[in-house]
A and B are shown apart, each in its own frame.
Chain A
């Protein structure tokens, strides 16, 4: 079966999968419904300060799995819904940023700088339209790059990297994430080291449970959901609750300005935005393709690059960035949205998650089964269908369905979400906490899972207090088993050569780069 046949099967799997309902005799597949539901939910959570895509994905995943089950048919509806949430949240984050000077998601902070002044001038609708147009453009650009790059990167790795080099690549990825996420590479390394320590409890190929201290509860190790949701979601909830208690008296929103009537974008409005958007989309895509660097940095780089260029080229009487310039909104939104597609390049081609959204997609694939992101996904043989490749093209189709929704109804839905910024965070957080713990119990059905999740939540809270990013912890937890397997296999394959990471030039180069990124990261911050 050639690649085109797999592409076609992937598209059919989305459009002709199990039916949800029929309209005028035409059946609508459950995957399409779930992508749409995820996208709308994503806009809602993105527009709600205190929530965000990862929180919604974390809570939705166990519920989706309990609804759709563990069969291969569940992969596309569940992952399609998560992709919808991921994309919707990126768009929705701009709403409170523009209307209330309160970023709905961290990556839309830069949107406040020009979006809110525009809104104060009575151009709120225009700012929202610019944000939506830039976001949808950046997202679509990034998805196209993903589809073009992921298969080739996977084939490159499959053909040219041997077991020792694959091990070294995993080490490089972890070193890179540890060095670039957060403010200190040292803290990043500690975070990643903790993740590895925890994932190695109870696992391994030996016939005795490792690091379990003789306890029955630790024999099987920590379920992946408890560690990921505990550190990422419960830890964030604890931290936000603590912050809420500390600053209870001054949590008021900026007043909402009048919407104004400067609305529809016309070509003269769009044309000057295009070069800025393109540069931001490229920057966001490149950043997104690198593991660990999130959309917040992409937004910052997109905005500051556009600002520098604007300052150089603007007429003397033209407004500056920060005074309410549409390019400022467009630069931020195109950049942070361009991260989402490119983030899946390392996930699908190497099985390496780059950010929290990708972590939940891997978690979904891992829980449902039948799809193991990595180089083997893109293998094509003459005689048989590769079901994993069909799923991969199905996911690409889901992304374009979400993009189509974004272009058509996304703007309208987004502009109606202003009211959500009034939801009090202190009431939302307990709801998120209870939903997360319930979701964990639904999936694991044993009480230890709840204790593990709360313990990981306390760990995540402590990490945030110490200004240590929990992302390296989570990515190390996910990659830990793969790293151990790969290292064991490389060691065995080289006939027990203890120096297997340094004997091939490519592996040695990856190891040298691993040291280099940490050293450079430390010097940059030191």
Chain B
């Protein structure tokens, strides 16, 4: 090896070491705006704010959470797309935002416009109703619908509206599908009697345990942790499901150091059940579900490409 080659390799090693050090010791150049794509006070909003609190406490970063809600997270995506790439603006959405919603909108947004930082938790997405309805299973609700009752089905996104439509279609009934702002609004609507049943992504756990609400079905590909006896959508004749995760995302081109420092910091917090965020994720969302780096970026692209099939099925 020539002296020049050794010098070059040494320089590369120094640069790589310096980069690794920066990743570990990255500090944001200013306050971090944490955009939250969910209505204030719901489970997802609480999760984001608890993570923000813990990031401040553990790392001394200043986090400024702010609500940017609406259009299934696309308002947030539009605001984030051209934000600074130095890690001072991040957003919390669901994987559905960068998948189905972007594909359905055709508004010029694409997952490639964003940097996936990390997912935090999956959903415990159940079809929920009040116990006082007397329904123990989805079959009871379907029987009521077939008996002439016009059932109101609460959803919180266009993708879930499609799934509710396909569930009704598979079961031979038509639901009045009502789109609410967030899972908490759906649960409030069910509790108030404004809705008969609806999708709730995990915050129903305490009320189901207390016997006020009942999980009629799992909208996931797998059974719900709390009520594994509730049938999955696949067994109810629906070829699609509501699988997905909450995730943090930044604008495309975000520095590797910032992305890596953030994903590590967030993963540590949500994996620690002693933190508020960790405890919430354990109780309401079935524990942390962490996907970061290139694997997350690939998942985002795959979700976007797969959205067409659900759109086509719901349009038939």
Q: Which residues of A contact B (CB under 8 A)?
A: 69-72, 158-159, 162-163, 203-209, 219-220, 365-372, 375-376, 379, 381-384, 388, 445, 485, 488-489, 492-496
Q: Which residues of B contact A (CB under 8 A)?
A: 33, 36, 39-41, 45-46, 49, 52-53, 64-68, 70-72, 74-75, 78-79, 101, 104-107, 150, 152, 176-181, 188-189, 191-195, 206-207, 209-210, 212
A492/B179 contact (C-beta < 8 A), A70-B64, A370-B41, A382-B212 known: yes
Q: Which residues of A contact B179 (CB under 8 A)?
A: 205, 488-489, 492
Query: Quick one: which of A366, A376, A388 has the most chain B CB within 10 A?
Result: A376
A488→B67 CA distance, assembly (Å): 22
A381/B210 contact (C-beta < 8 A), A71-B53, A219-B78, A489-B180 known: yes
A494→B176 CA distance, assembly (Å): 7
Contact call B41/A369, Cβ cutoff below 8 A:
yes
A100→B312 CA distance, assembly (Å): 74
Contact call A366/B150, Cβ cutoff below 8 A:
no
The 9 closest A-B pairs by CB, nearest first: A369-B40, A383-B210, A207-B105, A70-B65, A492-B178, A376-B188, A384-B206, A493-B152, A495-B176
Give 16 CB contacts A-B under 8 Å. Answer: A69-B64, A70-B64, A72-B49, A163-B194, A205-B179, A370-B45, A370-B46, A381-B210, A383-B206, A489-B179, A489-B189, A489-B194, A492-B179, A493-B195, A495-B150, A496-B176
A208→B45 CA distance, assembly (Å): 24
A435→B39 CA distance, assembly (Å): 29
The A/B interface has a contact count, at CB < 8 Å, of 106
A366→B66 CA distance, assembly (Å): 10
Contact call B40/A372, Cβ cutoff below 8 A:
yes
Contact call B177/A220, Cβ cutoff below 8 A:
no
Q: Which residues of A contact B152 (CB under 8 A)?
A: 492-493
A469→B212 CA distance, assembly (Å): 47
Contact call B70/A485, Cβ cutoff below 8 A:
no
Q: Which residues of A contact B46 (CB under 8 A)?
A: 370
CB distance from A34 to the nearest CB of B (A): 20
Contact call B207/A207, Cβ cutoff below 8 A:
no
A492/B74 contact (C-beta < 8 A), A71-B49, A370-B46, A381-B212 known: no
Chain B, residue nearest A206 (CB): B71
A365→B189 CA distance, assembly (Å): 21
A158→B107 CA distance, assembly (Å): 38
Chain B, residue nearest A370 (CB): B41
Q: Which of B40, B104, B193, B194 contacts A207 (CB 8 A)?
A: B104
Contact call B65/A369, Cβ cutoff below 8 A:
yes
A163→B178 CA distance, assembly (Å): 11
Q: Which residues of B contact A70 (CB under 8 A)?
A: 49, 52, 64-66
CB distance from A215 to the nearest CB of B (A): 13
Chain B, residue nearest A482 (CB): B181
A382/B210 contact (C-beta < 8 A), A71-B53, A207-B104 known: yes
A220/B75 contact (C-beta < 8 A), A370-B46, A372-B41, A381-B212 known: yes
A220/B79 contact (C-beta < 8 A), A383-B206, A495-B150 known: yes
Contact call A492/B176, Cβ cutoff below 8 A:
yes
CB distance from B200 to the nearest CB of A (A): 14
CB distance from A441 to the nearest CB of B (A): 14
Q: Which residues of A contact B52 (CB under 8 A)?
A: 70-71
A366/B40 contact (C-beta < 8 A), A489-B178, A495-B176 known: yes
